[in-house]
Amino acid sequence: MGSADIVPGVSGGTMALITGIYDRLIYAIKSVDKDTLVNVLKFRLSSVFKTFHWKFLTLLFTGIILAIAFFTKVVPLQIYMFTHPEIVYGLFFGLIVGSIVLLIAEISPDKRGWKNMFPLVAGALFGFWIVTLVPTDTPEAAWFVFLSGSIAICAMILPGISGSYLLLIMRKYEYILTQVGSIGTVDTGTAILNLIPFFAGAAVGIILFSRVLSWLLNNFHAKTLLVLIGFLIGSLYVIWPYQNREFQDSVRSTQIMEYTDPVVQTILEREEPPTLPEYKRIKEVINPGASFDALKKVEVETVSRKLLSSRPVIPEPGSSDVNIWSGIYGMAGGLLMIFFISFLRRS
């Protein structure tokens, strides 16, 4: 679930449904209720352990946290999305397509007739409308980060909707991954402060939404699932691995450095900016008339690159702009991952 939640387009809730723990997940989250909170505040630990599904949730969230750490530290997806977009988005595309097939298979045959397809079509149209109306920018204020956490965490328990994809819509996917990736560096304190509103919003969102989702699935299970599958279908437009993507560079910070600093020399040696979500560039040499390089100072900018818009394209054979086979390998890998998980569940 953690691996799915970090990639745009795949839902941790989908993984819970495929692996057969979905119902248990909903009831475990619902066990965080008023009585549980009262018992915690009054230190009635024995009562807490009787009603709160702490073992299940502890193991679950440990796995989620480890997966998030892996995909920001060991395999940094926020970087690979820029350096290897075809294979990364191809993997996401395959995962979504596989999720759609398996989610439809979960619906009983009598609910899959063409007369019952209106929720699916409506969800697909609404999802397509949303992904084509992505805002160019959103604030990084604490209130909006809180709201982003509340909305995105709902997807962790929502089959068919990706929390990371919702973060992409709200332009907070790279921001959150960058903050998580800064933990363990000199910016650890700042990163933790920036993440507190996000996790606070996530806690509020998951507690409230688990109750709404439980009611919808209990009363309108097939229709609710069809709408969610429609959202997934609509999202394929922006997850297609071959896209013309436009980016915007913005300066996050500046610092004065020695001209002879190895970082400065590395910047001077490259011919063009790297294809990364964040990089450094030289704005100007402050004292170009200095007699020796060792006396020179330069102003270095840290630049953040954000995705402004994307448009799907059909790649032409032999084109140097896209790596066709990387996209194909990625899609095949995504499909294999989904069906391998389904096979493990059935066995």
- pLDDT(136) > 60: no
Distance in angstroms (rounded) separating the CA atoms of residues 66 and 193: 20
- pTM of the predicted model, to two decimals? 0.72
pLDDT > 60? residue 91: yes
What pLDDT band is residue 200 in, cutting at 50, 70 and 90? very high
Q: Is residue 317 in a domain?
A: no
CA 92 – CA 86 distance, rounded (Å): 10
**Same domain flag for 83 and 193:** yes
Structural tokens at position 218: 């209990």
User: Does residue 258 belong to any structural domain of this protein?
Assistant: yes
pLDDT at 59: 93
Per-residue pLDDT tens over the stretch 111-126: 777 777 888 898 889 8
pLDDT band at 308 (very low <50, low <70, confident <90, very high): low
At residue 102, the pLDDT reads 79
pLDDT band at 228 (very low <50, low <70, confident <90, very high): confident
Residues 286 and 179 placed together within one structural domain of the fold: no
% of residues, the chain, pLDDT over 90: 10
pLDDT value, residue 299? 92
What pLDDT is attached to residue 159? 66
- Within this chain, do residues 265 and 142 fall inside the same structural domain, yes or no? no
Give domain status of residue 16, yes or no.
Answer: yes
Higher-pLDDT residue of 155, 191: 191
Binned at pLDDT 50, 70 and 90, residue 52 comes out as confident
What's the full length of the chain, in residues?
A: 347
328: confidence class by pLDDT, cuts 50, 70, 90: very high
**83 vs 30, 79, 169, 284, 322, CA distance in Å?**
41, 6, 21, 27, 12
Report helix, strand or coil for 305. strand
For residues 228 and 158, the answer to whether their CB atoms sit within 8 Å is yes
Quote the pLDDT of residue 198.
Answer: 93
- What mean pLDDT value characterizes the chain? 82
User: Per the domain annotation, does 187 fall within a domain?
Assistant: yes
pLDDT per position as a tens digit, 258-282: 988 999 899 988 888 888 888 899 9
Cα separation of the two ends of the chain:
19
Q: Which residue has the higher pLDDT, 119 or 48?
A: 119
| Residues 279 and 136 reside in one and the same domain | no
Please indicate, yes or no, if residue 285 is contained in any of the structural domains.
yes
Whether residue 290 sits in one domain with residue 167:
no
In Å, what is the CA distance from 253 to each residue of 279, 281, 302, 305, 326? 11, 11, 5, 13, 35
186/280 same-domain check: no
Burial state string for 133-145 with b = 16 or more CB within 10 A and e = fewer than 16:
ebeeebeeeeebb
pLDDT by residue (tens digit) across 242-252? 988 877 788 87
Range of the domain at 257: 246-309
> Could you read off the pLDDT of 143-187 as tens digits, one per residue?
889 998 998 888 777 766 677 767 877 778 778 877 887 788 788
Q: Residue 10: its pLDDT value, please?
A: 65
Domain presence at residue 102? yes
User: With bands split at pLDDT 50, 70 and 90, how would you rate the model's confidence at 196?
Assistant: very high
Instruction: Tell me: do 13 and 162 sit in the same domain.
Output: yes
User: What integer is the mean pLDDT of 194-198?
Assistant: 92
Residues 338 and 252 in one domain: no
Same domain, 236 and 254: no
Q: Are residues 74 and 138 in the same domain?
A: yes
Q: Using an 8 Å Cβ cutoff, are 246 and 90 in contact?
A: no
Residue 154, in any domain of the structure:
yes
Structural domain count of the chain: 2
Q: What pLDDT sits at residue 320? A: 66
- Is the pLDDT at 7 greater than 90? The verdict is no
- Does residue 213 share a domain with residue 81? yes
Instruction: Report the pLDDT averaged over residues 307-326.
Output: 79
pLDDT average, residue stretch 11-40: 79
Angle between helices 54-69 and 22-30 (to 10 degrees): 110
Q: Is residue 333 part of a domain?
A: yes
Let me know whether 55 and 160 are in one domain: yes
